[in-house]
Structure 1
């Protein structure tokens, strides 16, 4: 009897030891996954936080009509907007730069002018259009610096390292402007208000955000009603035969199809057959609808199955028709689960790149799209384009756009969780 007790005790110790080892491996796996996620977030945040700031350099600019190539209005009248718009603001900008840095040689002038962004002349134009009374006056304005200047001040100024792409001459000017307080780091509102640009300091994500929003609107208003209707039919009305079984299998298989296949389908059907334009949110939304439909249908069917049969039986017992049972009882109770599937599908659509590349949404689009038929890019494609750019400043913009994309995804998922808890009922 004693030997039997010892054997049982030893076996229990082995079992408990194995359970602890298994639990330890599980905890280690969770810790490793959390570490990788934390490392990724820290790396992206560290690289992308610089996109939220930019450098401006104050400059005293004289809006000389002779340099602008326009005539001063007589009798104290203000110049017309058309006249001010036609001025040569580049000449005014260069004159102010040469005077401030006291340069005369042609080589030095070219280097001095490159400290400011090519968008600085348009800033001068916009300022004078808003303040026409400043024509002929001298005004101190903070103008956008070149991306190389911004990179130097963010990463090399305090370290004392030489940034080769700036050069010694320009570096001495930048240091002088920084010490005098003329070069300042400010919040980069252009990152959120501008469209794409070849120049990193002018590039923004507004165009891509609008393109993503327009594309997701199409996806939302097509995938949700179609997906819910298909799920209701398959669960509540469709006869159980080999045809519906084959349809269910195909829906499950479509959920595992690579997204680029849907892009090829969009090219073949919407662009080649229906002759729809490339690179528009309407086509992008149709393609993403095809891609997200399986996810929405599967999640909606699972939500419908979770409704207790007693609900249906009670409604039928009270004399309700099949349609009334589904629309008045089953659908409202299954809606929280359906919304969860919708959020998952929309999050998947928001992060997709491959199918949109196939339909031409990889084009360089500067203008902000306003309608569903305007050429547009989307945020993941914008990230893809910037990541392939050679300029170092685009690294910050890429990581900054990733941060914005992650924030949008977190907000969407948080809304899904909130809506589910708000509408969910427990039995």
Structure 2
């Protein structure tokens, strides 16, 4: 009986210790799961906070104040000869020269007087405001819009037509409440009479808010901030991404295939692999310095051109694509290679007919994600001159241009922060939308290729 008790006690003790150990392990596992879940929730919370803040600040930029004016093309102000009409004995060159001279004469007229007269006509009778304060209500490019209407249709002389022009950036700030209305006159962007007239224009419908199409249809502008848009930067970004896709993707995939499937194992290939891994960790600004030294100073490519930006981003993206493609190739089962070779396929046939089709989804995802990463880079583009002000849409990759990340950087530093802070957030939203679309395309193509495989 004593022996049985002595045998039972150690057994019970072991059971107790085992249960205590299991309890600690289960507790540790529960804590680990809880910390992991908390980390995920915290990360998602920060992402949601970031997106919410960007959207909250950017949404107001998609609406803009417009002035609806009755513009009179007064012959007393528009004192210019009639537009030239080509005669039968006049050559094309002579007619073009006469037309250009007439347009120059039209451009020399004081179109601000036309805008001033239209604003005074819309103001209440007897409203006292001087010319300088009055013109601060309309954007400075309003005179150019009215002039273009006359150039396109000279028969408007003496007529009164309805014309919609943008309100100035300062007027838009006042209407949207981006500036505290309780501040004193010395701290306001507009004079008191101009602010009072804007309120009256808003009350009688002369000023209304509408969708800000100018963000998408106009290029950047310093003279007329309210008309500044992203078109030039967006097209410049498209040219750069085209260069990256045409160069980085085929070169990166081909390099990975050669290194993984065909290159002999030697010190040279080991050195190449080490350097590729090191290049993937190099800060992007270093690639900008390399691009400025090689492509601009040595090769004399045009500064601030999408071709240079595309080449710099190609160098930066290549290591990522090579590493990701090699990882996809390593993931293919050796049995597939052995089966293909056993059926009599050559090594080239084995790689391109059997291995690559299996890795297409992973390679495609890696390349698109690499391109999307390059899309958001700013530092290397600043070093190759793409922060220069370019008020034109680039027709070719060799034309001067800027890019969406650089445009965001420039707008963020604009002195009129009340107006450009929402525009900066709106530009970030456009950039994020492009990146989300690229990621969506990657996910869609990957799923289609996986089903086909």
Q: Deviations over 1:318-344 (max 9, x none)?
A: 222211222222222222111111112
Contact 1:210 1:369 in 2 (8 A): yes
What is the CA deviation profile of residues 62-114 of structure 1, one whole-angstrom value per residue up to 9, with x for unaligned ones?
01122122245799xxxx97546743332211222234336797x72210111
Q: Indicate the residue corresponding to 2:56 in structure 1.
A: 46
* Consecutive unaligned residues in structure 1, runs of 5 or more: none
Distance 1:376 1:401 in 2: 16
- Count of equivalent residues: 421
What is the rounded CA distance, in whole Å, between the counterparts of 1:373 and 1:65 in structure 2?
45
Instruction: Give 2:350's aligned residue.
Output: 325
Residue 220 (structure 2) pairs with residue 196 (structure 1): yes
1:178-222 CA distance string (max 9 Å, x none): 110111001111100111111321110010011110011111100
Correspondence list, 1:93-242, <5 A: 93-101=115-123, 108-155=130-177, 161=182, 164-198=188-222, 199-242=224-267
For the structure 1 residues 332 and 180, does the alpha-carbon distance in structure 2 shift closer, same or farther, using more than 3 Å as the test?
Answer: same
Cα pair 2:306 2:398 within 8 Å, conserved:
yes
| Residue in structure 1 matching 2:425, options 395, 399, 415 | 399
Shift of 1:239: 0.7
Shift of 1:243: 1.4
Cα contact 1:299–1:340 (8 A) shared by 2: no
Deviations 1:264-312 (A, max 9, x none): 1111111111111210011111111110000010111111122222222
* Residues 1:69 and 1:294: Cα distance change in structure 2 (over 3 Å): same
Query: Contact (CA 8 Å) 1:115, 1:149: kept in 2 or not?
Result: yes
Distance 1:188 1:294, change over 3 A: same
Report the CA distance shift for 1:426/1:142 in structure 2 as closer, same or farther (over 3 A).
closer
Preserved contact between residue 68 and residue 91 of structure 1 (Cα < 8 Å)? no
Larger deviation, residues 329-338 vs 205-214: 329-338
1:2-401 aligned at under 5 Å gives the runs 2-71=12-81, 83=102, 86-87=105-106, 88=109, 89-101=111-123, 108-155=130-177, 161=182, 164-198=188-222, 199-391=224-416, 392-401=418-427
Q: Is the 2:68–2:163 Cα contact (8 Å) retained in structure 1?
A: yes
What is the CA–CA distance in structure 2 between the aligned matches of 1:288 and 1:324, rounded to whole Å?
32
Aligned-CA RMSD value:
2.3
TM-score, normalised to structure 2, is 0.88
Separation (CA, whole Å) in 2 of partners of 1:52 and 1:151? 13
- 8 A contact 2:136–2:190 mirrored in 1: no
Cα pair 1:103 1:109 within 8 Å, conserved: no
| Greater mean alpha carbon deviation, residues 222-231 or residues 147-156 | 147-156
CA-CA distance at 1:229 after TM superposition: 1.0
CA deviation vs aligned residue, 1:380-412 (integer Å, no higher than 9, x gap) = 011001111110211111110000000000000
